Copies of this chain bind each other. A is one copy, B any other.
Amino acid sequence: MASRIVCAVTDATRRAPSMYDVAARAGVSHQTVSRVLNGFAGIRPETRDRVETAIADLGYRPNKAARALVTSRTRAIGVLAPATTDFGPTSSLHAIERAVRDAGYHPLITSTPVEAEAVRASLEFLLDQSIEALVVIAPYRVVLDELRDLHGDLPIVALQTGEFSDVSAAGIDQVAGARLAVRHLLDLGHRGIQQLAGPDAFIEAAVRRRAVDDELHSHGIPKLPTLTGDWSADSGYAAGALVDNAATAVVCGNDQMALGLIHALTDLGRRVPQGVSVVGFDDIPESAHSLPPLTTVHQDFEEVGRRAVHALVARLEGRDADDESVAVTPELVVRASTAAV
Asked whether A97 is an interface residue with its Cβ less than 8 Å from the other chain, the reply is yes
Interface residues of A in 258-275 (CB under 8 A from B): 259-260, 262-263, 266
Which of A31-39, A123-131, A139-147 faces chain B? A123-131
**Number of identical protomers:** 2
- What's the interface size class on A, roughly? 35 or more
Which of A170-178, A283-291, A324-332 faces chain B? A283-291
- Residues in B with CB closer than 8 Å to A74 are 65
Which of A40-48, A187-195, A229-237, A245-253 faces chain B? A229-237
- Residues in B with CB closer than 8 Å to A129 are 64, 106
Asked whether A219 is an interface residue with its Cβ less than 8 Å from the other chain, the reply is no
Known contacts A65-B65, A263-B293, A109 near B106 by CB under 8 Å: no
- A143: min CB distance to chain B, Å: 16
Name the one of B256, B285, B289 contacting A285, with C-beta atoms under 8 angstroms.
B256
Asked whether A66 is an interface residue with its Cβ less than 8 Å from the other chain, the reply is yes
Known contacts A233-B285, A263-B293, A286-B259, A69 near B65 by CB under 8 Å: yes
Check if A263 sits within 8 Å of B285, measured CB to CB.
no
Check if B85 sits within 8 Å of A97, measured CB to CB.
no
Name the one of B107, B151, B153, B288 contacting A233, with C-beta atoms under 8 angstroms.
B288
- Residues in B with CB closer than 8 Å to A125 are 101, 106
Known contacts A233-B285, A236-B289, A128 near B64 by CB under 8 Å: yes
Q: Which residue of B lies closest to A66 (CB)?
A: B69
Task: Return the CB mask of A44-80 against B: 1 if under 8 Å, else 0.
Answer: 0000000000000001011111101100101000000
In angstroms, Cα B107 to Cα A16, docked, is: 21
Asked whether A98 is an interface residue with its Cβ less than 8 Å from the other chain, the reply is yes
Check if B94 sits within 8 Å of A130, measured CB to CB.
no
- Residues in B with CB closer than 8 Å to A212 are none
- Residues in B with CB closer than 8 Å to A290 are 259, 263, 286, 290-291
- A164: min CB distance to chain B, Å: 25
Known contacts A65-B65, A94-B111, A266 near B291 by CB under 8 Å: yes
Asked whether A108 is an interface residue with its Cβ less than 8 Å from the other chain, the reply is yes
In angstroms, Cα B289 to Cα A62, docked, is: 52
Q: What would 26 A/B residue contacts be, using CB atoms closer than 8 Å?
A: A16-B130, A61-B128, A61-B130, A64-B128, A64-B129, A65-B69, A65-B74, A83-B97, A93-B111, A94-B111, A97-B109, A98-B111, A106-B125, A107-B110, A108-B108, A109-B109, A234-B289, A256-B286, A256-B289, A259-B289, A260-B289, A262-B291, A263-B293, A266-B291, A286-B290, A291-B291
